[in-house]
Every structure is written in structure tokens, then in C-alpha cells.
Amino acid sequence: MATPLETGRSTQGDLEQDLARLIVESLRLEVLPASIDPAAALFGEGLGLDSIDMLEIALAVSKRYGVELRSENRAALASLRALTTHIAQHRIR
């Protein structure tokens, strides 16, 4: 049986979980995807990511969801929840 993500009928929670896995895998982080607080900052004090990590996430998001993240989309990268919302609103796949 296909998962909601495979059928394109994902919920915000499914997308958030998938995105957390994508971030952990893309950046080879040593944390469990489920341990990422959706409201915590991804950069600086929160998850501790930097500008190179931001580029890696932008590339992975573009490949998987067809959503391009640019420097003016900085607010979309504020947290896992913000990124999930941005992708849900703009995805083409």
C-alpha cells in the first residue's frame, strides 16, 4: 500500500516528518529526525546550522519538492515548521 507521500496526498504532519528526514540525511546530522523541534530555529541557536547547510537544504528541497528557495525566502528557513508551510504552499510535485 502506498504511503500518503507517495500518492501525493500528504498531510502537513507527513510533510514535516519527511522534511526532517531529508534535512538529517542531506546534512548527515547525528540526530534523529523526530528529535527536531518543528518550532525551533534551524540556524544559529536552534539546530545550529550555517549558511552552507542552508544551501544544501535548498538544493535537496528543490530536487525533492520542486520548490526553489532563494535568499529572499529566509523566513521560510526559520524553522522546520516554517519550511514545511512554505513547501506545502509552493510545491509542484
pLDDT in tens, the chain (93 residues): 444 444 444 455 899 999 999 999 999 999 999 999 999 999 888 888 998 999 999 999 999 999 988 877 788 999 999 999 999 998 876
**In a domain? residue 1:** no
- Expressed as residue numbers, the domain containing 50 is 10-90
Q: Please choose, from the candidates 37, 77, 84, 83, the residue with its C-alpha nearest in 3D space to the C-alpha of residue 53.
A: 77
Which residue do the cell numbers 539546530 mark? 47
Residue 27's domain is classified under what CATH number? 1.10.1200.10
**In a domain? residue 57:** yes
Q: Which residues contact 65 (CB under 8 A, 6 or more apart)?
A: 87, 91, 92, 93
**In a domain? residue 3:** no
**In a domain? residue 27:** yes
Q: Name the burial class of residue 29, with classes exposed (0-12), middle (13-18) and buried (19+) by CB atoms within 10 angstroms of its CB.
A: middle
pLDDT computed for residue 1 by the predictor: 40
DSSP 8-class letter at 36: S
**In a domain? residue 81:** yes
pLDDT computed for residue 67 by the predictor: 92
Query: How many domains, the chain?
Result: 1
pLDDT computed for residue 12 by the predictor: 59
**In a domain? residue 45:** yes
